[in-house]
Every structure is written in structure tokens, then in C-alpha cells.
């Protein structure tokens, strides 16, 4: 193992000072079994669906060699996030985060946009990585970094198949998204969302509550899921400016949202961030310090666990271009190339 660099060590020390690691009580056998079943059900549900692009969250890759090894893998993944007492209620979003989100909203509405035609495609180019866990033959848990670099062309009205080009691979045809959804957003789906931040957040929470609300047994919870949902839309889709602005302003009403003075995206661009801390991790949306344009996302560990050491960015992405094209495979003539931003 290589020695940790000075910047990484410094980042870890700052994170530990600002966000002390929460304690995790030992789960009861019943609680452990309940969460184990939820994890297995979630893996089954994910494997049966065909998402256009996986959410950039840490993916679990477990090679099942025996019942004992599988049980050990589940224990390693689940135990750090279990608790037997309810989490304290989060405070309202901080004043600094509200100001940053408002600046981002004003920036995105200041950019002129052309209404795309149904026959056209939205385009995004993303670079980055995510972290996966696997079990080797000795029963040890190993971490691996997996690429999240891709280009994607999505039909504006969802009638044509999506085309994705991953790093180092040829183009892949995916199913047509149809009318679109929060998981598979099209431009037409996004333009129908409310532009009033309060109403938009109500719609997002309604979606988040389906799998993460009261009685769902989810360890994520609707507040964190709402934050993640908005982040996914900002990273992986192209929307009308007024909708993007509403997404930023809606996020300002999510409890627990804070500002982070220094962050860096997967392309090495430094900026400021708004973030939310959940289960020992800090999920960040990164913005250019000068222009307040959206750069990307990352998830940073605030404590040591199976995924890595505190201060480690277990996921990190950067949106490097976006725009509208006439057909898949094309690069937009006026793509939003960034020091910068996605064109959301």
C-alpha cells in the first residue's frame, strides 16, 4: 500500500475535525437479518431492471464462493451503516449553502438555450470513478476502482433508443426511455417538472418516499434520497434552465445541506461545494468558484470503513461537456465545455 499523499492526509484531518465520526451501536440479530434481506432484495431488484445509466453510487460486487463467504461479505457491507436508535433530526440547510445554490440557479438561467426538437438527442460526457467491493478466494474483502467515464445520447422525447459510449468500448444501444422518469430522465420529462421550488421538492419527496419513506426499512431516508435524486439529474441529464434553477432552489430546503469551502472533481478542477452528510459519508455537488457552474459530484468517507480510509473519495465524477445533437455519435457544435458546467 502506498503512503497517503499530504493533500489527502490534510483533507482527512479537515473532514475529521469538521464532521466527527458518529458512533454505531451493535445491531441486534433481528436488525442485522432485516438489513441483510433488504440488501439481497435490492440487488435482485437492480439486476432485473435495465437502467440507462447506473447511479454513481458505490456498487457492491461480491463473488459468492460459499455460504460463509457470502455472509461475511454482507456483514462487511451492512454493519457500518446499521443502528438501533433513530438518527437525530437534521438542521435546516445552512445559510452558506442556500446562498451558493441561489447563485448556481442564477447562473444557469443566465445562459441562453434553444428548445430542442423531438428528433434530437441530449448529450452528456462524464469522467470519473466509483468504488466496488469483492471477496477473493481467501475470504478477504478487496476494493477496486471502476471507471465511470462515458458519453451518452438520450432521445429528447424518449422515442429512440439511448446510445452510450463507455471509456475504451464501442457504442452500446440501450432501450428507449419512453416518457421518461426520475431514473431515466428525458428532456420532455424534465420540462414538465414544476419550476416552483416548493412544488418541485414535494414531487421529489413523493418519489423518494416510495422506497425510502417511513415504514420502508431504508437506511437512506427521504431527505438523503431527495438530495441524491437531484444530484443525479444535475450530473446525467440536460434540462431547461428554469427547471435546473428550480432543482438548485429546491435543494436549499432539504434539511442537513451544508457548504464545503474546498472540493475537487474527477477532472481535477477545484471548486466549492454544497453537501449532505449521511452514515459517515459526505455527498458533494461541486461548483466552479468563479462562475458557480456545476462541475461534478463526489462522495467522501468521513470515517474508516470497508470502503476505505476517512478522506477517501469513493465516488468522483466530472461533467466535461453537454448539449444537444441531431443524432447519436455526434458532439454538439456548441457543447457546454467546462472549466465549467453541465448545460443543465
SS3 for 201-227 is HHHHHHHHHHHHCCCCCCCCHHHHHHH
CA 37 to chain CA mean position, Å:
24
Its pTM stands at 0.73
Over residues 108-117, mean pLDDT: 89
In a domain, 178, yes or no: yes
| pLDDT digit string, tens, across residues 269-320 | 999 999 999 999 999 999 999 999 999 999 999 999 989 999 999 999 999 9
In a domain, 169, yes or no: yes
In a domain, 69, yes or no: no
Count of Cβ atoms closer than 10 Å to residue 83 Cβ? 15
In a domain, 47, yes or no: no
In a domain, 164, yes or no: yes
Which of the given ranges, 128-137, 253-262, 324-333, has the highest pLDDT on average? Answer: 253-262
pLDDT score for 133: 87
In a domain, 83, yes or no: no
Backbone angles phi, psi at 31, to 5 degrees: -65, -40
Over residues 93-115, mean pLDDT: 94
Where does 88-190 show beta strands of DSSP type E?
121-135, 141-147, 150-155, 162-166, 171-174
Which structural domain range is residue 246 located in?
Answer: 90-131+145-325
Domains in the chain, number: 1
Q: What is the pLDDT of the chain when averaged over all its residues? A: 79
| pLDDT digit string, tens, across residues 20-52 | 443 334 444 444 444 444 444 444 444 334 444
Whether 179 has a pLDDT exceeding 50, the answer reads yes
In a domain, 247, yes or no: yes
In a domain, 95, yes or no: yes
Amino acid at each position: 500500500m502506498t503512503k497517503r499523499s499530504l493533500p489527502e492526509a490534510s483533507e482527512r484531518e479537515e473532514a475529521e475535525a469538521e464532521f466527527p465520526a458518529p458512533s454505531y451501536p451493535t445491531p441486534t440479530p433481528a436488525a442485522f437479518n432485516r438489513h441483510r434481506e433488504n440488501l439481497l432484495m435490492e440487488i435482485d431488484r437492480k439486476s432485473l431492471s435495465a437502467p440507462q445509466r447506473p447511479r454513481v453510487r458505490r456498487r457492491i460486487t461480491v463473488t459468492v464462493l460459499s455460504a460463509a463467504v457470502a455472509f461475511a461479505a454482507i456483514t462487511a457491507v451492512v454493519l457500518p451503516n446499521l443502528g438501533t436508535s433513530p438518527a437525530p433530526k437534521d438542521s435546516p440547510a445552512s445559510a452558506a449553502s442556500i446562498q451558493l445554490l441561489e447563485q448556481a440557479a442564477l447562473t444557469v438561467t443566465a445562459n441562453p438555450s434553444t428548445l430542442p426538437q423531438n428528433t434530437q438527442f441530449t448529450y452528456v460526457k462524464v469522467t470519473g470513478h466509483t468504488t466496488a467491493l469483492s471477496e477473493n478466494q481467501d475470504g478477504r474483502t478487496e476494493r477496486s476502482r471502476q471507471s465511470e467515464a462515458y458519453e451518452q445520447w438520450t432521445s429528447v422525447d424518449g422515442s429512440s433508443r439511448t446510445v452510450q459510449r463507455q471509456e475504451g468500448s464501442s457504442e452500446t444501444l440501450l432501450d428507449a426511455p419512453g416518457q421518461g422518469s426520475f431514473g431515466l430522465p428525458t428532456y420532455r420529462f424534465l420540462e414538465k417538472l414544476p419550476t416552483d421550488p416548493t412544488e418541485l421538492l414535494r414531487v421529489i419527496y413523493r418519489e423518494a418516499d416510495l422506497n425510502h419513506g417511513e415504514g420502508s426499512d431504508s437506511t437512506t431516508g427521504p431527505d438523503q434520497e431527495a438530495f441524491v435524486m437531484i444530484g443525479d439529474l444535475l450530473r446525467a441529464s440536460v434540462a431547461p434552465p428554469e427547471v435546473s434553477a428550480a432543482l438548485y432552489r429546491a435543494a436549499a430546503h432539504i434539511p442537513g445541506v451544508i457548504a464545503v469551502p474546498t472540493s475537487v472533481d474527477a477532472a481535477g478542477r477545484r471548486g466549492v461545494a454544497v453537501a449532505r452528510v449521511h452514515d459517515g459519508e459526505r455527498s458533494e455537488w461541486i461548483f466552479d468558484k468563479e462562475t458557480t457552474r456545476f462541475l461534478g459530484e463526489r462522495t467522501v468517507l468521513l470515517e474508516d470503513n470497508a470502503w476505505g480510509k476517512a478522506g477517501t473519495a469513493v465516488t468522483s465524477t466530472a461533467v466535461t461537456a453537454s448539449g444537444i445533437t441531431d443524432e447519436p455519435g455526434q458532439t454538439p457544435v456548441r457543447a457546454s465545455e467546462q472549466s465549467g458546467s453541465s448545460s443543465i
